Amino acid sequence: MINTVIFDMDGLLIDSEPLWGRAMREVFATVGVELSMEQASHTTGLRTAEVVEYWHNFFKWEGKNSELVTSEIIDSVTAKIVAEGVIMEGLEYILDYFEQKNFKIGLASSSPMRLILAAVTHFGIKDRFQVISSAEFETHGKPHPAVYLSCAKALGSTPLQCIAFEDSVTGMTAAKAARMKVVVVPEPHNRNNKRYALADVQLNSLTEFNDGILAKL
């Protein structure tokens, strides 16, 4: 029986993907790299260090090492989220919905823990999650299922008892690999991506989730 829900954070609960894109482009510019929005979308859902390493191998910049660039991006995104970040439509609705169903509620993100905690604390939702898991502590990030498996275990649930909510193909793949039911809420420009067919349900907003959809999962 499904009794657990695990949420991604960036782009699903918090409208932070544009802020990630801006931060990456600004920091990459300091090493002479111009990263387009289209290029940035190729690494959505990966851990920050993996994103930096990917583009370092592509552009082969000199000056700052990958660790410093990674740290500067995380600092920049964290500051932008606190200063100008907004929640996604349906955030309060979906958390209230599963609380009323007495579901166990977790968060499983590719972001570093210090960024996650800064974000959920800023928006006043930290206490809505019984477990918060970051892929930075796993040997592999999404699309590997490790962070979802760790979160489920910490919640005392099996993967087959879990619904995962995601916005990216990378995250969806991770949750499916963990053998969870997956609900995807893609960004508007990405809703026609055929790869989302792997999900059990695709929505345009968190507000669309209801008892009928839950019953089918």
4-15+86-216 matches 17-84 in fold? no
Is residue 75 among the annotated active site residues?
no
- Residue 144 Cα distances to 32, 122, 149, 192, angstroms: 31, 29, 10, 24
Structure tokens at 17: 């993907």
Is residue 8 among the annotated active site residues?
yes
Catalytic choice (8, 15, 75, 200): 8
- Residue 122 Cα distances to 45, 77, 102, angstroms: 22, 13, 25
Q: For 107-144, what is each residue's pLDDT tens digit?
A: 999 999 999 999 999 999 999 999 999 999 999 999 99
Q: What would the DSSP string read from start to end of 78-110?
A: HHHHHHH--BPTTHHHHHHHHHHTT-EEEEEES
Its CATH class, for the domain covering 4-15+86-216, is: alpha beta
**Helix axis angle, 113-122 to 66-84, nearest 10°:** 10
pTM of the model: 0.92
Q: For 163-181, what is each residue's pLDDT tens digit?
A: 999 999 999 999 999 999 9
Nearest to 205 by CA among 180, 184, 177, 189: 184
- Which ranges of 156-210 would DSSP assign to H, the alpha helix? 169-177
Catalytic choice (10, 127, 200, 211): 10
Domain ranges of the chain: 4-15+86-216, 17-84
Identify the CATH assignment for 17-84 out of 1.10.1780.10, 3.20.190.10, 3.40.50.300, 1.10.150.240.
1.10.150.240
Q: What are the backbone angles phi and psi of residue 67, rounded to the nearest 5°?
A: -65, -40
SS3 for 104-126 is: EEEEEECCCHHHHHHHHHHCCCH
Choice among 30-44, 71-85, 154-168 with the minimum mean pLDDT: 30-44
